[in-house]
Structure 1
């Protein structure tokens, strides 16, 4: 008899529980000692259920990291006010993202050293980054030669910079210098780019607010 697939709602709930349990365990003890049995016990599901959702522990870890990156990208790309300068929004998003390598080196190290780090980073962060840059273009503040090319270049550079920071090859302050470089590449005059990139960071907007 063919196996009957679980209802979609139940499958989604089980996957959600596995992701949440894995995230909690990664936060507590990191990835190195993470075991599938611990994850399923934390999620309250049978060990065999794990493989209905993920082919391996590594695939689950990538899913957890991808969700975290997407949430971070959405948060740092959210305008802090109706009249915020679109160039400042892009600059602040770049600064906050790269600064994670200083503020949370364990998470940043996990991100940059994943087997599929580049593809995961790009797919997770792309939607929010692309939308923020499009807003800057629509407002006439940013003038990249080609938006998709600009987003690809900025994200690729941000990941490389984060990798260099956690590996100890780049010192403090790189997030501001990188934001300034990106703004100049996006068409802002040098003095404006420097001024925008060095503005104090405003408080983040609560996603639930």
Structure 2
């Protein structure tokens, strides 16, 4: 007789997989991908190491799923800001401010998503999501050009430059290797940093000082 998995067993597998992901996510949030060792994740989830590999074919697959989940949240927040009130410039400004401020509020996870050295599979996910951010910005820039809120420009190139500029400007403040990382920054300093990033990006888009 062929083996047939019961509904109860399927639900148990789903719950186990969910628990593994949650525990791995917590490890990354508190210490980056480097702290999410499989043995530590297994212990936190209350499962054997082998159980993790029954749900994920490799550590890289587990990390890639965590990366997708975390980054999609941030992409959604940027998209939400870009869909808000105001002209294209105001919406772009709000989205950029959202991106930078959220990164500084959660520096460990932000560092993991933006710059932490990762396996090639996770790096491939990083590139895909940088493209997702750029596509949202590109749409808003095109809307700004059409409404004369922004000067004529290559919207695709400008959007790519925005993503690169904001990510690169956050690498230093977020880096755990720097003694003056964002966890030690005062709220005032964080606000100043966010505003300087936003000012630079908007000035680049509009061609005028703000």
2:138 maps to what in 1?
Answer: 133
Q: Is the contact between residue 23 and residue 41 of structure 2 (CA under 8 Å) also seen in structure 1?
A: yes
| CA separation of 1:46 and 1:156: change in aligned 2, threshold 3 A | same
TM-score (norm 1): 0.66
Q: CA deviation at 1:157?
A: 2.0
| CA separation of 1:51 and 1:109: change in aligned 2, threshold 3 A | same
User: Distance between the aligned counterparts of 2:170 and 2:156, measured in 1?
Assistant: 21
| CA separation of 1:91 and 1:122: change in aligned 2, threshold 3 A | farther
Q: CA deviation at 1:134?
A: 0.6
Q: Is the contact between residue 66 and residue 120 of structure 1 (CA under 8 Å) also seen in structure 2?
A: yes
Q: CA deviation at 1:155?
A: 1.4
2:195 maps to what in 1?
Answer: 176
User: Distance between the aligned counterparts of 2:86 and 2:160, measured in 1?
Assistant: 24
1:60 maps to what in 2?
Answer: 62
Q: Is the contact between residue 90 and residue 133 of structure 1 (CA under 8 Å) also seen in structure 2?
A: no
| CA separation of 1:57 and 1:76: change in aligned 2, threshold 3 A | same
Task: Mark the runs of 5 or more structure 2 residues left unpaired by the alignment.
Answer: none
Q: CA deviation at 1:158?
A: 1.9
Q: Is the contact between residue 83 and residue 91 of structure 2 (CA under 8 Å) also seen in structure 1?
A: no
Cα distance per residue 1:58-89 (max 9 Å; x no partner): 55334323321220121133148763222222
Cα distance per residue 1:100-158 (max 9 Å; x no partner): 45322222333312335765444224324422431342242335632332222221222
TM-score (norm 2): 0.66
User: Distance between the aligned counterparts of 1:122 and 1:143, measured in 2?
Assistant: 28
Cα distance per residue 1:7-26 (max 9 Å; x no partner): 9x878766544322211233
1:102 maps to what in 2?
Answer: 104
Q: CA deviation at 1:55?
A: 4.8
Q: How does 1:99-178 map to 2 (within 5 A)?
A: 99-111=101-113, 112-115=115-118, 119-139=124-144, 140=147, 141-143=149-151, 145-167=153-175, 168=178, 172=189, 173-178=192-197
Q: Is the contact between residue 134 and residue 160 of structure 2 (CA under 8 Å) also seen in structure 1?
A: no
Task: Mark the runs of 5 or more structure 1 residues left unpaired by the alignment.
Answer: 195-209
| CA separation of 1:175 and 1:49: change in aligned 2, threshold 3 A | same
2:50 maps to what in 1?
Answer: 48
Q: Which has the higher helix share?
A: 2
| CA separation of 1:120 and 1:155: change in aligned 2, threshold 3 A | farther
Aligned residues: 188
Which deviates more from structure 2 when the two are superposed, residues 164-173 or residues 87-96? Answer: 164-173
Superposition RMSD on alpha carbons, in Å?
Answer: 3.8
